[in-house]
Amino acid sequence: MAVKTQELKLDIERIGRVSAILTQPDNARACYVLGHGAGADMRHAFMEKAAAGLADRGIATFRFNFLYMEKKHGRPDQPAVAHAAIRAAVAEAARLCPGLKLIAGGKSFGGRMTSQAQSKAPLPGVKGLAFLGFPLHADKKPSSERADHLAQVAIPMLFLQGTRDGLADLGHLKPVIAALGAKATLHEIEGGDHSFAVLKKSGRTNDEALAEVLDTLAAWIDDLG
């Protein structure tokens, strides 16, 4: 299987240009628009491993930097700016990957900004949202207000969450997902933290935990209508 990687520039209307990467296996059956977390850009090791692992599973990825990360500003973008970047990324992924099933979401901040954007106005062509660690609340400060907007999302959602995730207490997340009904699916990564890293005493490696994440994601994408 051949995998093509394209380094791109993404134009965000009235905002600016950011870097992007399309990783596309020749047998791709879907494309995942993958937003990065608040503290690391699209080239972070987690993002690289996720893109490579999904390519091995026949899933293309479109990664992109949010503007603040491209400009090396410390604070994440205001939601409206982040939402504009996501809309531009979805449109470009659709243009570059015609005919492929389109999924959006991402790691932590990237996933939450994607669900916010979808809740305000549907992302054209996107069949489902997948969250690689949804950041439900600040570290070790359990609450669920950050999930209020999810009620306005009408398409399927997959929550991949580590059971040791300090930003998503499962006691708060499970009722949120239950209230969303059949459109929401939770898959717990036993012993995983916010990036799915596991303790040595768990008996498995971080790579094995990430493989579970990616296998689950690929299977969920295949099940989408």
- Residue 44: Cβ within 10 Å count: 17
pLDDT score for 111: 98
Q: Domains in the chain, ordered, with CATH?
A: 3-223 (3.40.50.1820)
pLDDT score for 61: 98
CA distance 177 to 35: 21
pLDDT in tens, 38-68: 999 999 999 999 999 999 999 999 999 999 9
pLDDT score for 150: 98
140 — pLDDT class (breaks 50, 70, 90): confident
pLDDT score for 166: 95
Which has the closest alpha carbon to 107: 57, 69, 140, 145? 69
pLDDT in tens, 83-120: 999 999 999 999 999 999 999 999 999 999 999 999 99
Which residue's entry shows tokens 């209020």? 148
pLDDT score for 74: 84
Please say whether the beta carbons of 34 and 89 come within 8 A: no
